[in-house]
Amino acid sequence: MVEMREQPDGRYGRAYGGDTLNTAVYLARLGADVDYVTALGDDAWSGEMLADWQAEGVGTGLVQRIPGALPGLYVIQTDANGERRFLHWRDSAAARRLFTHLDPAALDGFDVLYLSGITLSIYDEAARAILLGALDAARARGAWVVFDTNFRPRGWPDRARAQALYAAVFARATLVLASTDDLDLLYGAHGIAELLRHVTTAEIVLKSPEPQSCVYAGGETVRVIPDPVDTVVDTTAGGDSFAAGYLAARLAGAAPVVAARAGHHLAGHVVRHPGALIPRSHMPNAFQETS
Look at the chain and count its residues: 291
Burial class of residue 230, CB neighbours in 10 A (0-12, 13-18, 19+): exposed
Q: Is 240 a catalytic residue?
A: yes
Pairing assessment for the beta strands 220-224 and 212-217 based on DSSP bridges = antiparallel
Please list the residues that pair with 74 across neighbouring strands.
3, 88
| Active-site residue (options: 148, 182, 234, 240) | 240
Please list the residues that pair with 179 across neighbouring strands.
207
Give the C-alpha separation, 73 to 18, whole Å: 10
Instruction: Please list, in sequence order, all residues whose beta carbon lies within 8 angstroms of the beta carbon of residue 190, skipping any fewer than 6 positions away.
Output: none
Q: What is the 3-state secondary structure (H, E, C) of 259-282?
A: HHHHHHHHHHHHCCCCCCCCCHHH
Q: End-to-end CA distance of the chain, in Å?
A: 34
Residues annotated as catalytic (active site), given as ranges: 240
